[in-house]
Amino acid sequence: MRGLLLLFVGAVLGCSSFGSADDTAVDSGIDAGGQGQGNACVGPCETFESAQWKSDWGMSGPGAIDVTVGESTSPSHAVDLTVTGDVRVQLARGFGMGNKLVASVSMKVVSAGEGELDLFAIRMSADLGSDGIKLVHQAKEQRYAIQANGVVTPVTASFGAFIRVTLEVDIAMKTWTFKVGGDQMSGPLDAMWTKGSPFYVAFGALFASDIKGAWHIRFDDVEVKATP
């Protein structure tokens, strides 16, 4: 089988626009677009309304992903992903080493194809296809699910509208948790997650296999909270 931002470092830091060139630096910020009306975030987050996202998020892979005007949750821009074959592409960012990380994104599937996709994840590496806690689409079952430590939990959301997806890794408590729409579940964290593990958040087509037809997906309002 194959996924801005407010960071908490003991106390809440002041706002910036992800200006650090060090992807592992601990900082906090809000982009120039602000939260915007209809924003799904609780606090400041990445709304992709300014070009600052190009500096804050690293793009990798040959697939098609970009920020465009169109369906969004705030105010008019969102990340636009198209997948028409077994081609990977992602936006990813490192959040340093810590004990807990909570990452949320709003996602809508404008049109769905078939195949295996990793869509949104917390993991320990920025490498495409690396493992972690993630939202996936399963090829054989043709359904969305959360995959964590080898456990696959189907979710009921079809993503015909923007749905909020939240993933949490708590190393101190040795647990993972997800919430997708009305579905929520927790489980024991794999031993590979240890104190001081690096945290990365990624979304897009992190893994793509057996793709048939065309996928078109929109991502917006990425919010990340990290605890050292």
Contact 99, 193 (CB under 8 A): no
Supply the pTM of this predicted model: 0.83
pLDDT at 31: 31
pLDDT at 41: 83
Distance (Å, whole) CA 20 – CA 173: 30
Where does 58-219 sit in CATH, by number? 2.60.120.200
Average pLDDT score over the chain: 83
pLDDT at 39: 67
Q: Torsion-angle region of residue 68: left (phi > 0), alpha (psi -120 to 50) or beta?
A: beta
Contact 177, 44 (CB under 8 A): no
First to last CA, the chain: 30
pLDDT at 79: 98
**Regions in the chain scoring below 70 on pLDDT:** 1-39
The structural domains of the chain, with segments of one domain joined by +, span 58-219
- Angstrom distances, CA of residue 76 to CA of 12, 37, 41, 147, 220: 28, 10, 15, 31, 10
pLDDT at 38: 53
Torsion, Cα of 87, 91, 92, 93 (10° steps): 170
Element (H, E) at 53: helix 53-56
Element (H, E) at 209: strand 198-212
User: Tokens for 161?
Assistant: 């509208």
